[in-house]
Chain A
Amino acid sequence: MSTATVLHEKEKATNTLLEICSVRLEENWFGIPISHILEIVGGARPQPVPLAPAFVGGLIHYRGDVLTTVSLRQLLGQPPKEGNQDVLVLESSGGYFGLLVDAVGEVLTLSSADFEQNPSTLESKRRALFAGAYKLKDRLLVMLDPERLDPMRLTSAQTS
């Protein structure tokens, strides 16, 4: 069971508030619990890695280490974006990695009462990436689970 769903079930019982960082991709908004975010690096220009798996957005320099980034665009099958992008540095069981998004939005405080699981009609490929959604007033915030975005996991998912 992934972290987000664990969190979610705990919340349901207590109806707690959760801080979620919203990120934008074109017109769509996604959310990541801020407890999983180590740092946000703005205006990064990732170095492309030829022959890398399609979801790899490139490498960035982060505090003396070379970080592999996962491009949310490429993961969702959208064309890569030119120019600067924002990177969320996330921690997963396999170590650190970066998540490339078009832009980072504000941090929202949401109630777990507004959370819904993935709809059953969602394509299975997407269902593997998304952890559910929060119902905001005017739109839906699709939750991402850092564990599921881990490059190592994506690689093995791709090959299998």
Chain B
Amino acid sequence: MDELTREFLIESQEGLDRMERCLTELEERPQDAGLLGDIFRSVHTIKGTTGFLGFKRLEKLAHSGENLLGLLRDGKLVANAPIITALLQLLDGLRAILKTIEADGNEGEGHDTALVDQIKACMQGGAAAPAAAEVPAVAAAATVATEAAPPPLVAVPAAAPVAAKPVVPAAPAPPATPAAGAKPAAPAGNTPPRAAVVSAAESSLRVDVTLLNRMMNLVGELVLTRNQVLQATANDPNMTMLSRRLDMVTADLRENVMKARMQPVSNIFSKMPRIVRDLCQTLGRHVRIQVEGQDTELDKSLLEAIKDPLTHAVRNSLDHGIEPPDVREAAGKDPEGTLKLRASHEGSHVVIEISDDGAGIDTERVRKKAIDKGLITADRAAQLSERELHMLIFLPGFSTAAAITNVSGRGVGMDVVKTNVEQIGGKVEVDSRQGKGMTLRLRIPLTLAIIPALIVRTLEQSFALPQGALSELVHIPPEQAATAIEWIEGAPLYRLRGQLLPLVYLDRLLTPEGHHKAATERDNFIAVLDADGRRFGLVVDGLADPEEIVVKPLSSALKGIGLYSGATVLGNADLALILDPGAIALKAGVNMTNREEENSRAAEQQDAIGLNTGMEYLLVEAAGRRAAVPLADVLRIEQLPLKRVEYIGYRAVINFEGQLLPVEDSGGILAAGGDGESQVIVVVCREGERHVGIAVSQVLDVANGSDLFEAGTEQRTDGVTLLKDHVTGVVDLGSVPPLPADAQPSSGEWNNVAETMA
């Protein structure tokens, strides 16, 4: 295939994608001149180029579409359902031919007369003719379409009844001759938008994806090299400036290469209205689709990877979620269902939500089906929590559909969603309220290649633990291990803020036969992990620095072990295996906890009594009094010897390698003093640009605060909050006086520390 044809194919695909998007919008705003202009231009461009390249069949089809669109654009016809259906079929026809060209280099054999006739019939405002012409038209399109068969087929049964209705708005339109339709391709209408296209083309260029992939790999290498250089030059003052510069440039370069690979989710979201439209017609549903956060960007390869899961999820929502209009009406709901697609950033993830206001998951039916299909035993099913029952829908072979339709019911859908999303390191969450609807949340990492990880040591080798799953770290020295770690018949547990946390010893897991030191003879570092709702503590021998690691795939011989998601090269040039928290939880037999469910239930109760559950606070105790620190401002909690606290005049400060941290001591803990062995707990917080410490005697908990209102005035009170049913004062970080100007530390370094600790 020559370069020109290839260019043409890419351009035409883009044009048709745009056309599809516009067509579904056109249904809602049939008079929108901008939309019509856009569609017209797409078809016109295809027609123009095909004539030039000698694709006669394509040209003929595009030409007939252009005629119809010309009438629409000039306001001689108003777009109605049959016209849009015809245009969508035209779109499928064009796509099918393009596909054949891509595969074979020629247009292939096929007859489009039926489709052309149908379009012509639309132009005459006739309603009866298209209904009859439809079936052969589709059949013709289907013979051409090698893979793209389903969409045109789906349209068959549904479009016919619609078309049979008398066409209301289009009828009075004067019969237009094809010539009148073809001529309006006048330059006048096209000039301004074309100028915009040209300028966009000048400032952008097409880049091969493989080249971008290669660049991404090279940047990954550079990140590794940077890590090594940084470690090697850490103690050389002459190299500090240079290595910092290298650090910055690398970070910048990485960010930009990643950006180059980013595409807005609208690329896949825009396909959904058409799918919804077709499915609605097949399934007899009325569904309104709402899309939010279309500009959210995601790595191209990830975007490709979630296209299928998203389509499956939308199908599932329409087939199983949203009920038919009469059922909805009987249940007191709006007969028109709502399907919401939402994309947003959340930390280092992009969250894509597919929510509907349908029936939700019928847990009893799920339980019964799962037992019937032999996916779980009846005993096990009886023990499952609601949340665990919801997760059953992701089991391979699971389906609650009574009959297999061509939409769903084959029991592969949700399984595909989960496996595809997990393959790219994402997570699937489901949130369902019976009778009210369900939300499927796809949590997708921003990028595949580079992830933040904590390096841990066990068996005298390094392992990388992805930070995404890590919620906190607890250190238990050998002398405390006897009391802090409790055992139930060989299963170690740790009491984390009153809740029992199952512990998994990494060394025992990795070398089941080896000899292991008892908990009381070693340091126990507990990494509290949350993997797919399974919460557990992974016990390792030691912690090293957090690092941004470049994920390298493992050979398939090692993938079989299942505990590692890859390997990486560390800053000190050592290799480390990347642990997969989910797989460890499974292997160690950690069950899903109901913790989140309890939380959400608690939140629901609070919602019910009308409390505003906004901010989270860290509840601390200082000299017998309880106080709250906004959790968002807390960077970390330090426990250090009292003698580390020094004084500038009366101001208590702590010196962290040249960085001074002012310490607020309103509780008088520092002032109370102690012997040389005393420890003090300092909560390090962010206050604007600077960092301040608060001396406390104990950190109690993290809790949701509720606003309080002054009696009579109903005004929200500042500085206090309701925490765990107690009125608690909020520490005012702003009131910590600044250090003397010449002692002011620069905050840059702190930020780095804070980010890596997060």
Interface residues of A (CB under 8 A from B): 47-53, 56, 59-61, 64-68, 94-95, 97, 151-152, 154-155
Contacts and interface: CB of A to CB of B under 8 A. Distances in A.
Interface string B552-596: 111111101101101111000111110000000000000000000
B557 A60 contact: no
A95 B577 CA distance: 20
Nearest to A68: B555
B511 A65 contact: no
Given A64-B221, A65-B552, A53 B567 contact: no
A36 B575 CA distance: 26
B659 interface: no
A31 B557 CA distance: 24
Contacts of B552: 65-66
Given A51-B510, A52-B561, 8 more contacts: A51-B511, A52-B558, A53-B557, A59-B567, A66-B553, A66-B569, A151-B557, A155-B560
A41 to B, nearest CB: 13
B575 A60 contact: yes
B217 interface: yes
B555 A152 contact: yes
A151 B556 CA distance: 8
B569 A61 contact: yes
A144 B569 CA distance: 30
B412 to A, nearest CB: 27
Contact of B561 (A49, A59, A94): A49
A49 B556 CA distance: 14
B171 interface: no
A97 B566 CA distance: 16
B510 A50 contact: yes
A67 B567 CA distance: 10
B500 interface: no
Interface in B430-476: 459, 461
Nearest to A59: B575
Contact of A49 (B221, B569, B573, B577): B577
30 contacts: A47-B461, A47-B567, A47-B574, A47-B575, A47-B576, A49-B561, A50-B510, A50-B511, A51-B561, A52-B561, A53-B557, A56-B557, A59-B567, A59-B577, A60-B575, A61-B569, A61-B573, A64-B224, A65-B552, A66-B552, A66-B566, A66-B567, A66-B568, A66-B569, A66-B575, A68-B554, A94-B556, A151-B556, A152-B556, A155-B557
Contacts of B564: 49
A97 B517 CA distance: 35
Q: Which of A47, A50, A53, A152 has the most CB of B within 10 A?
A: A50
B555 A151 contact: yes
A152 B220 CA distance: 26
Contacts of B558: 49, 52, 56, 68, 151
A64 B510 contact: no
Contact of B555 (A51, A64, A95): A95
B553 to A, nearest CB: 8
B511 to A, nearest CB: 6
A64 to B, nearest CB: 5
A59 B573 CA distance: 12
Interface string B466-508: 0000000000000000000000000000000000000000000
Of B554, B563, B575, B576, most buried by chain A (CB within 10 Å of CB) is: B575
Contacts of A66: 552-554, 566-569, 575
A59 to B, nearest CB: 5
A97 B561 contact: no
B507 to A, nearest CB: 9
Nearest to A53: B557
Contacts of A47: 461, 567, 574-577
Contacts of B566: 66
Given A59-B567, A60-B575, A61-B569, A48 B555 contact: no
B275 to A, nearest CB: 38
Contact of B459 (A50, A60, A154): A50
A50 B516 CA distance: 14
Most chain A C-beta atoms within 10 Å of own C-beta, residue among B220, B563, B567: B567
A45 B224 CA distance: 19
A7 to B, nearest CB: 25
Contacts of B567: 47, 59, 66
A68 to B, nearest CB: 4
Interface centre among B224, B568, B569 (most CB of A within 10 A): B569
A128 B568 CA distance: 33
Contacts of B555: 67-68, 94-95, 97, 151-152
A154 B558 CA distance: 12
Contact of B557 (A51, A61, A64, A154): A154
Contacts of A68: 554-555, 557-558
Nearest to B576: A47
B131 to A, nearest CB: 57
Given A66-B552, A66-B569, A152-B555, A61 B575 contact: yes
Contacts of B575: 47, 59-61, 66
Contacts of B573: 61
Contacts of A48: 461
Nearest to B569: A61
Contacts of A67: 555
B88 to A, nearest CB: 45
A68 B564 CA distance: 14
A138 B689 CA distance: 77
Contacts of A151: 555-558
Contacts of A53: 557, 560
A97 B558 CA distance: 12
Contacts of B560: 53, 155
Interface string B600-642: 0000000000000000000000000000000000000000000
A52 B567 CA distance: 14
A60 B573 CA distance: 10
A38 to B, nearest CB: 15
Contacts of A155: 556-557, 560
Contacts of A152: 555-557
Nearest to A155: B557
Nearest to B507: A50
Contacts of A52: 557-558, 561
A56 B567 CA distance: 15
A152 B556 CA distance: 7
A2 B220 CA distance: 37
A152 B479 CA distance: 46
Instruction: For the complex of A and B, list the 3 residue pairs with the smallest distance between their C-beta atoms, beginning with the closest.
Output: A50-B510, A151-B557, A68-B555
A65 B552 CA distance: 7
A134 to B, nearest CB: 29
A90 to B, nearest CB: 13
A49 B559 CA distance: 11
